[in-house]
Structure 1
Amino acid sequence: MSECLFCQIVAKEVDSDIVYEDEKVIAFKDINPQAPVHYLIIPKKHIETILDLAEEDQELIGHIHQVANQLAFEAGIADDGFRIVNNCKDAGGQTVFHLHFHLLGGRNLQWPPG
């Protein structure tokens, strides 16, 4: 998936401001932040959308949420609250077709979003 921007970030072919990395996921600061804290958490495995998850990916999704919790504590947004967002396909607002979750916090987030 060399044409995938997020695969290029995983391969370190494109620079990013990495805030977390392990053998399964990488998290980095969004280049167009919508909140004081805005990280993207992505699996290193290329999965286009949340609809493309396989049964064997269940542990991966749990791991992503554990990483989100850890990052929320480290960024100081856990006590006040934060949002985890996944956009799916064009009408859902997905612009990069590599599964990713936005971790947003550091301000009051409105509802409904967008």
Structure 2
Amino acid sequence: MIHKDSELVCFRDICPAAPHHYLVVPKQHIVSCFSLFKEHIKLVERMAEMGRAVLQENGITNPNDIRLGFHIPPYISVPHLHLHVLAPTSEITDDLAHKFTPGTMRFFTEDLLRRTLEDDLCRLVCTVEPDHYHML
């Protein structure tokens, strides 16, 4: 465990895709992004804040070379909400890059999830267009 507070824990990913790959996890059980509502915006923001703080503590200071995001069902391997924190994005391994590509059905950036919740779209809905999601 790298960091924790009363609500969240942060630890290294067991299969890192980048030199710095951490997971920020709420202690409260939440299955996935599909379980989130507008009331969870502050939780998502706190998760991102912890992820950025851990990166800063580890010397990662370029905000343009980090990626924060969530996998969405069915592309989750663990049924518990967790934020992936990766840096530097320029060093994400080629064999795992497809799992962390913004704009695909597999990976919602923290920013996109937050904006979706702010728009009060209670549920993320994905079309089956080849590998790209759309908010409906």
Give the TM-score normalised by structure 1: 0.73
Shift of 1:97: 0.8
Show the 5 A alignment for 1:1-114. 18-79=1-62, 81-90=65-74, 93-106=75-88, 108-109=90-91, 113-114=97-98
CA RMSD of aligned residues (A): 1.9
Task: Please list every run of 5 or more consecutive structure 2 residues that lacks an aligned counterpart in the other structure.
Answer: 99-136
SS of the residue corresponding to residue 86 of structure 1 reads strand
Runs of 4+ with >4 A deviation: none
Give the TM-score normalised by structure 2: 0.62
Shift of 1:109: 4.8
Q: Distance in 1 between matches of 2:66 and 2:21?
A: 10
Task: Please list every run of 5 or more consecutive structure 1 residues that lacks an aligned counterpart in the other structure.
Answer: 1-17
Shift of 1:72: 1.6
